[in-house]
Amino acid sequence: MSSADGIAVVAEDGVLRLTIERPDRKGSLDMAAVRRLVEALEAASTDDSLRAVLLTSAGDDFCSGADWVAGNAGADVKLRTGSLQRRTPLQAHRLIALLLGIQLPVVSAVRGWAAGLGCQLALASDFAVAADDSRFWLPFTKRGFTPDSGSTWLLPRLVGVARAKELLLLGRPITGVDAAAWGMIHRAVPAAEVAATADALVAELAAGPTVALGLTKHAIHGALDGGIVEAMEAEAMALELSSRTADFREGLAAFRERRDPNFEGR
């Protein structure tokens, strides 16, 4: 186990568990915490011992967004023009891109508030399990500035343009129940069941054919920006690669022998 900058990183039984340990800041992430998450995901992307990722929080809230207090601790020092434009792609935007791009299934377990960057962490996960009474909120325009962290790309694809405008232009928070009904997240459950539900889902994914899962995730995201021809070309390449894995051979053997497959992620 490794814990630093408010983030605990544990790799065990094929699962990388990333826990936000900043309850005094409602799970908000300062630059050091974001950097820690980025480093952990970058390392995981080439770690063949890992088969799934779980993102959770040790506090009452999942993540209340970027820690603006910490980020402006030296506000008496005027930043150069374009500072946000230069820094954001290497910080919050890099984190979202890694969650979307890593060829491992990512599950997030959400309780309390998932606001701003915290909301986007959940939406960028492959599966978000949230408490019924959790709150998803994108308060950017309520604070007088514009959305970031992939909000304007992810939301219209998940909930449609009309609802994306309601969330981004009007800045209205919604519950975990509504987020699930709108297709923003995988599932909403009672708060007491979030951890167990997320753990069961992670265990199922970690026992799956890791290469095939990763390639399928990659193909789904790639297809969002292309046409049917490009999507089928990507599927053909993924099929070529996945059919060369040991898990593929195990899947065929299990089918012939009428038993459950025992995938090893190879």
pLDDT digits (tens, 9 = 90+) for 184-210: 999 999 999 999 999 999 999 999 999
Q: How far apart are CA 143 and CA 78, in angstroms?
A: 21
Whether residue 20 contacts residue 56, with contact meaning beta carbons closer than 8 Å, is answered with: yes
Distance of CA 124 to the CA centre of its chain: 4
Same domain, 240 and 125: no
Same domain, 24 and 53: yes
Does residue 43 lie within any of the structural domains?
yes
pLDDT attached to residue 89: 58
Number of domains in the chain: 2
pLDDT attached to residue 73: 47
- For residue 129, which of 53, 174, 196 has the smallest C-alpha distance? 196
φ, ψ of residue 65 to 5 degrees: the values are 105, -165
Q: What domain range includes position 215?
A: 210-256
Does residue 265 lie within any of the structural domains?
no
Per-residue confidence at 143, pLDDT binned at 50, 70, 90?
confident
Q: Left (φ > 0), alpha (ψ -120 to 50) or beta: where does 78 sit?
A: beta
Q: Tell me the mean pLDDT in the region 35-56.
A: 97
Distance of CA 138 to the CA centre of its chain: 16
Q: How far apart are CA 154 and CA 130, in angstroms?
A: 18
